[in-house]
């Protein structure tokens, strides 16, 4: 009993010293909340349902639901092994590789999109070679995936790398000495122990991919995904025209975030 009351009083003792950071933090929170609430206030339920059932909106939703998971999958399958290598080794030029991983995060997506175009656009060697066998790398769903992956993959790589870094290497050594090779050690020990961080990274990557606009607009303005559809609708009809799709996009992201956290039993993304 005395223990509990003491810890309570200790908590309240800490309040004054936390007052200033708490106030500063509150200002950011308010700034986050106001636009959100204001935007939601323009919602009319009936209008939203009708708008979302139009063919144009349906196509955009379908395209986004198709491309974002694929981009996330690609980023995870290739990014997690890279994260593991970066967490476990040091080599000459590692800083350069790390800078390369962060590059898509720090350049504006629209510039990233332009860069992708210069690499795989229709008149580049890669783009024309692909076109020759009937694959269009731009203005196609493949183009959307390429743009999304470019912009969103760093999230899973960076978070998974931190996750692997937090796994004590001696746990892997013990597994090796207990008779497991490097691959099964990765699968049995490293991967499960870094799971929380990897899941957090997957969520961030998915959220970034499904909301991707800048690079997608450059690489594949058509077929429309939800973000490009929102842009087109906004140009034509202003804010009110985009409320339904924006809400749907928000809804999808929230559902995925909740579902992944539920199955992955991760408390919150930020805790990781």
Are the C-beta atoms of 189 and 172 separated by less than 8 Å?
Answer: yes
258 binds another protein (CB under 8 A): no
Q: Does 180 bind another protein (CB under 8 A)?
A: yes
Site for another protein in 190-219 (CB under 8 A): 192-193
Residue 184: CB minimum distance to another protein, A: 8
Applying CB under 8 A, the span of 1-9, 82-90, 112-120, 172-180 interacting with another protein comes to 172-180
In whole angstroms, how far apart are CA 174 and each of 177, 185, 221?
Answer: 5, 9, 51
3-state secondary structure of 44: coil
d(CA 18, CA 22): 6
Q: How many other C-beta atoms can be found within 10 angstroms of the C-beta atom of residue 72? A: 29
Name every residue whose Cβ is closer than 8 Å to that of residue 199 and which is 6 or more positions away in sequence: 260, 261, 264, 266
- Is 264 a binding residue for another protein by CB under 8 A? The answer is no
By CB under 8 A, is residue 6 in contact with another protein? no
73 or 191: whose CB is closer to another protein? 191
170 binds another protein (CB under 8 A): yes
Query: Interface mask (CB under 8 A) for another protein, residues 121-150, using x and -?
Result: ------------------------------
- Choose, by CB under 8 A, the member of 63, 67, 159, 175 that binds another protein: 175
CB of 265 to another protein, least distance (A): 11
With respect to another protein, which residue has the nearer C-beta, 34 or 168? Answer: 168
The correct pick among 188, 234, 250, 261 for binding another protein (CB under 8 A) is: 188
Q: Distance (Å, rounded) from C-alpha 89 to C-alpha 190?
A: 14
- Residue showing tokens 């090779």: 181
Scanning the structure block, which residue is given the tokens 């980023």? Answer: 75
The Cα–Cα gap between 88 and 11 comes to 39
Q: Tell me the closest approach of the beta carbon of residue 234 to another protein, in angstroms.
A: 47
Q: Which residue has the tokens 């974002």?
A: 68
Distances from the Cα of 150 to the Cα of 58, 71, 113, angstroms: 25, 9, 9
Is 49 or 174 the residue whose CB approaches another protein more closely? 174
Closer by beta carbon to another protein, 108 or else 267: 267
Q: Which of 25, 108, 181, 251 binds another protein (CB under 8 A)?
A: 181
- Interface with another protein, residue 166, by CB under 8 A: no
Q: How far apart are CA 157 and CA 167, in angstroms?
A: 16
Q: Given the rule CB under 8 A, which residues bind another protein?
A: 168, 170-171, 173-182, 184, 188-189, 192-193
């Amino acid at each position: 009993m005395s223990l509990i009351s003491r810890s309570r009083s200790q908590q309240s003792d800490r309040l004054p010293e936390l007052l200033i950071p708490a106030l500063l933090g509150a200002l950011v929170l308010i700034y986050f909340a106001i636009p959100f609430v204001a935007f939601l206030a323009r919602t009319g339920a009936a209008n939203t349902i009708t708008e979302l059932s139009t063919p144009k909106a349906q196509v955009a939703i379908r395209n986004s639901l198709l491309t974002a998971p694929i981009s996330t999958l690609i980023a995870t399958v290739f990014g997690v092994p890279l994260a593991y290598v970066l967490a476990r080794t040091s080599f000459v030029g590692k800083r350069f590789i790390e800078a390369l991983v962060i590059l898509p995060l720090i350049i504006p997506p629209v510039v990233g999109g332009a860069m992708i175009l210069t690499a795989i656009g229709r008149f580049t060697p890669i783009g024309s070679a692909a076109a020759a066998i009937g694959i269009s790398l731009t203005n196609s769903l493949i183009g959307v995936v390429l743009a999304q992956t470019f912009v969103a993959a760093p999230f899973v790589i960076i978070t998974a790398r931190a996750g692997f870094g937090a796994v004590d290497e001696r746990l892997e050594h013990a597994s090796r000495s207990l008779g497991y090779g490097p691959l099964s050690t990765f699968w049995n020990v490293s991967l499960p122990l870094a799971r929380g961080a990897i899941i957090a990274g997957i969520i961030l990557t998915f959220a970034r991919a499904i909301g991707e606009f800048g690079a997608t607009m450059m690489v594949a303005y058509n077929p429309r995904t939800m973000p490009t559809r929102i842009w087109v609708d906004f140009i034509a009809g202003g804010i009110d025209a985009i409320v339904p799709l924006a809400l749907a996009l928000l809804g999808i992201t929230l559902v995925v975030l909740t579902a992944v956290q539920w199955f992955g039993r991760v408390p919150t993304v930020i805790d990781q």
